[in-house]
Amino acid sequence: MHQNNLLPQNDLLQQVSHKTEEHEFYNPLPEGYQKGKTKYVVVCGTVMSGLGKGIFAASLAKLLQLKGLKVTCMKFDGYLNQDAGTLNPYRHGEVFVLDDGTESDMDLGTYERFLGISLTKHNYLTGGKIFSQILNHERQGNYLGRDVQFIPHVTGEIKRFVRTLAVNSGADIVFIEVGGTVGDIENNYFIEAMRELQYEEGRENLCHVALTYVLEPGFLGEQKSKAAQLGLRTLMAMGIQPDIIACRADREVVAKVREKISQSANVPFERVVSVHDCESIYLIPSLLEKAQLDLQTISHLRLQERIQENPIAREQWSTYVQKTLSIKEEKEKENEITVGMLGKYTALRDSYASIIKALEHAGTHLGVRVQQKWIDTTELSTERVAEELNDVQGIIVPGAFGSRGAEGKIQSIRYARENNVPFLGLCYGFQMAVIEYARNVCGLQEANTTEIEVSCTHPVIDILPEQKGIVTLGGNMRLGGHDVEIKSGSIAAELYGNISARERFRHRWECNPAYIQQLEANGLFFSGKAPGREIMQILELPREKHAYFVATQAHPEFTSQPLKPNPLYLGFVEACVKRLREEEKER
The whole-number average pLDDT for the span 102-131 is 96
Higher pLDDT residue, 564 or 335? 564
Exposure b/e, 203-214, CB count within 10 A at least 16 = b: eebbbbbbbbbb
Please give the pLDDT value at position 6: 39
Q: How confident is the model at residue 467 (pLDDT cuts 50, 70, 90)?
A: low
Name the E strands within 334-368.
336-343
Please give the pLDDT value at position 449: 96
- Fold exhibited by the domain 36-200+276-312: Rossmann fold (3.40.50)
Residue 7 has pLDDT above 50, yes or no: no
| 332-465+476-586 has CATH 3.40.50.880 classification | yes
Find, among 193, 183, 269, the residue nearest to 232 by Cα. 183
DSSP letter, residue 446: T
Q: How confident is the model at residue 170 (pLDDT cuts 50, 70, 90)?
A: very high
Q: How far apart are CA 471 and CA 189, in angstroms?
A: 33
What are the backbone angles phi and psi of residue 357, rounded to the nearest 5°?
Answer: -65, -40
Q: How confident is the model at residue 110 (pLDDT cuts 50, 70, 90)?
A: very high
The whole-number average pLDDT for the span 541-570 is 97
Q: How confident is the model at residue 201 (pLDDT cuts 50, 70, 90)?
A: very high
Write out pLDDT tens, residues 203-239: 999 999 999 999 998 888 899 999 999 999 999 999 9
**Residues acting as catalytic residues:** 427, 555, 557
Please give the pLDDT value at position 399: 87
The whole-number average pLDDT for the span 437-463 is 95
Q: How confident is the model at residue 115 (pLDDT cuts 50, 70, 90)?
A: very high
What is this structure's pTM?
Answer: 0.91
Please give the pLDDT value at position 125: 97
Residue 585 has pLDDT above 90, yes or no: no
Write out pLDDT tens, residues 550-560: 999 999 999 99
Q: How confident is the model at residue 93 (pLDDT cuts 50, 70, 90)?
A: confident
Residue 12 has pLDDT above 50, yes or no: no
Going from the C-alpha of 72 to that of each of 65, 208, 565, the distances in angstroms are: 9, 16, 21
Instruction: Give SS3 for 503.
Output: strand
Q: What type of residue sits at position 133?
A: Q
Residue limits of CATH 3.40.50.300 in the chain:
36-200+276-312
Please give the pLDDT value at position 400: 82
Q: How far apart are CA 174 and CA 38, in angstroms?
A: 7
Instruction: Give SS3 for 490.
Output: coil
323 exposure class (CB count in 10 Å sphere: 0-12, 13-18, 19+): middle
Residue limits of CATH 3.40.50.880 in the chain:
332-465+476-586
For 24-65, the DSSP string reads S------TT--TTTSEEEEEEE-SSS-S-HHHHHHHHHHHHH
